[in-house]
Structure 1
Amino acid sequence: MKKITLSKSIIVWSLLISALVVVASLYGLLDPSIYSKETLNWATQAKGQDIGNLLAVPILLVCGYMYYKGSFKAALLWLGTLLYLIYAYVVYAMAVHFNMLFLVYVAILGLSSYAVLLTIKDIRSREGVYPKASAKKFAAYTIMSIGVLFGLLWLSEIIPALIAGNVPKGVVEAGLWVNPIHVIDLSVVLPGFIITGYYALKNKPNGPFFLAPWLTFSVLMGLSIVAAMILMTVDGVNAIPPMVMVAAVVVMSSIALTIYIRRIT
């Protein structure tokens, strides 16, 4: 495997993004005014996301450093963490009422997006040898299953509402016009999961490459959802059944990612 040679900009990206994420997340968790205009449901989801974002910071820093030192495996995990942050801060920037952190949200979104755009070519040019047979198939079927599962989950909420001429219950509870999570998931993320898994099974180049980043994304996003559901449970909402389902997704994604990433050479 070729060694990745990058300037110190990779460290700068990681440090800047991490610092801003810590600021935004801690303010969101500790300052009641940040989500004071949101419904209880949406504010709780935002706080769960804040917890997930804090969990992403050490991964971004450690993997960024290892990527800078030449680890292709770390580069894939770093990329997946950035994809997670892009997703998270699209939602913050577009669906949280204007507050003192607005420009921080925008800065994180911009920095994370350009970090991906400016490094992905280098990462692709340094690809290692991906695992074959069982490890790849397990990772591919896992990410495809998650894509199908959440796709059906969202459609089961959206389609009946469309037929009845109503607004989906989740959108009403969040106090939104449209849920950006539905938009991003159904248009980009979930199709990306399914296409990546399919391409990996067919040995097309983009499939094996994106398996690890998307699985990393799945783990981090799942952890943030579990955190939100724990907060809902504390507030008296019965969120245990969906929390168990999402926790299972996190476990399966973690197992698939660990097996897959360890067998890349």
Structure 2
Amino acid sequence: MTITDSGTAGASVTAWTSGAVAWLRLSVLCALLAAAGNIAGLVNVGGVYGKETSAFVDQAIAQDAVNLAVVSPAIVVLAVLARRGSLRAYLMWLGGLAFTTYNYVIYTMSVHVGPLFLVWVAVLGLSAFSLIGGLAALDVRAVGDRFGHAPRRLAGWFLIAVAALFTLLWLKDIVPAILDGRAPQSVSELALPSSPVHVLDLSFFLPAAFATGVLLLRGRPWPYTTAPGLLVFLALTGLPIIVTPFVAEARGGEPAWGVLPPIGVITIACLAVLAGLTRGATPPRRSDDARTRV
């Protein structure tokens, strides 16, 4: 069967190979396993996160809740829609996988080894391989053709601005601490040797967002394969940050309510830019010679 953006059968050019189906299926297994781990973590907070600081536990509970309520269901739904032929769903699905990979690096590297450690390792592996395989299965030129008339400039400048903003924020926390010979505040309150968020953002995510933004402005084709996923990643990243103060309040801690307005604005802006970019995708070109078996 040949798949189209609307999920109908016919002779049309698709933007990914038939090999993507295996990665879509693997991601569903990943989401189900992650959800099981999230439930276990929320039910047994003390047993899973008992060795962490109070601030860390607040963030972990918020992360588990968002993963369970939003991320895992979204990956499953987007995988189903992508399997039916939706390019928009496929590109957003990649963002959900990137978010999962990112967060399970943090789970596996920052939380003391406990009852869910091997589950987290499995989720990390499944999400990372699904993400890499899903990206490799894309036809960059076909995706670029579909998004050729999308409003790329807004998405490009937005990604550049977000990358610059968070780079400056993290450096503001890191550089003075290094000069003073102390740990950054975000590290000390979590009792970690370094911040995995700083490491992942400064080495991978923020450079990827900046490069994608620049190349979108230049009209190159391949950034269209990553821009929707990066916007999904950003929107999902904001959710546990928004939930964390409510968790802290419920647990008798000191909630950081000040993060809600800026993170809320960025999250809503991500969704708005994502909607504008993906709505600009054109239907696939029809071709009697194109056949993709799935």
Q: Deviations over 1:192-242 (max 9, x none)?
A: 111110110011233222110100100111112211233234434241111
Q: Deviations over 1:117-175 (max 9, x none)?
A: 22222223552511547x21111111221111111111111111111111111111001
Equivalent residue, structure 2, for 1:25 = 38
Contact 2:24 2:130 in 1 (8 A): no
CA-atom RMSD in angstroms = 1.7
Q: Which protein is bigger by CA-based radius of gyration?
A: 2
Tell me the distance in 2 between the aligned counterparts of 1:148 and 1:107: 33
Tell me the distance in 1 between the aligned counterparts of 2:264 and 2:232: 14
Equivalent residue, structure 2, for 1:241 = 258
For structure 1, the residue ranges without an aligned partner over 5 or more in a row are none
Are residue 200 (structure 1) and residue 213 (structure 2) matched?
no
Equivalent residue, structure 2, for 1:2 = 13
TM-score by length of 1: 0.94
Contact 1:80 1:212 in 2 (8 A): yes
Equivalent residue, structure 2, for 1:16 = 29
Tell me the distance in 2 between the aligned counterparts of 1:154 and 1:247: 19
Q: CA deviation at 1:11?
A: 4.5
Q: 1:185 aligns with which of 198, 201, 205?
A: 201
Please show how residues 83-102 of structure 1 align to structure 2 within 5 Å.
83-102=98-117
For structure 2, the residue ranges without an aligned partner over 5 or more in a row are 1-11, 283-294
Please show how residues 155-166 of structure 1 align to structure 2 within 5 Å.
155-166=171-182
Q: Deviations over 1:55-89 (max 9, x none)?
A: 11121111101111111111100111100000000
The one of the two structures with greater contact order (alpha-carbon pairs below 8 A, sep at least 6) is 2
Equivalent residue, structure 1, for 2:185 = 169
Q: Deviations over 1:18-55 (max 9, x none)?
A: 11111111112221211000000111111121122121
Q: Partner letter of residue 267 of structure 2?
A: V
Helix, strand or coil for the counterpart of 1:249?
A: helix
Q: CA deviation at 1:15?
A: 2.2
* Dislocated runs of 4+, deviation >4 Å: none
Q: CA deviation at 1:253?
A: 0.3
Contact 2:104 2:124 in 1 (8 A): yes
Are residue 144 (structure 1) and residue 149 (structure 2) matched?
no
Q: Partner letter of residue 75 of structure 2?
A: L
Helix, strand or coil for the counterpart of 1:196?
A: helix
Contact 1:6 1:68 in 2 (8 A): no
Contact 1:143 1:253 in 2 (8 A): no
Equivalent residue, structure 1, for 2:287 = none
TM-score by length of 2: 0.85
Q: How many residues align?
A: 264
Helix, strand or coil for the counterpart of 1:34?
A: helix
Are residue 42 (structure 1) and residue 53 (structure 2) matched?
no
Tell me the distance in 2 between the aligned counterparts of 1:255 and 1:157: 29
Higher helix content, 1 or 2: 1
Equivalent residue, structure 1, for 2:7 = none
Equivalent residue, structure 1, for 2:288 = none
Equivalent residue, structure 1, for 2:275 = 258
Q: Partner letter of residue 64 of structure 2?
A: D
Which stretch shows the higher mean deviation, 106-115 or 42-51?
A: 42-51
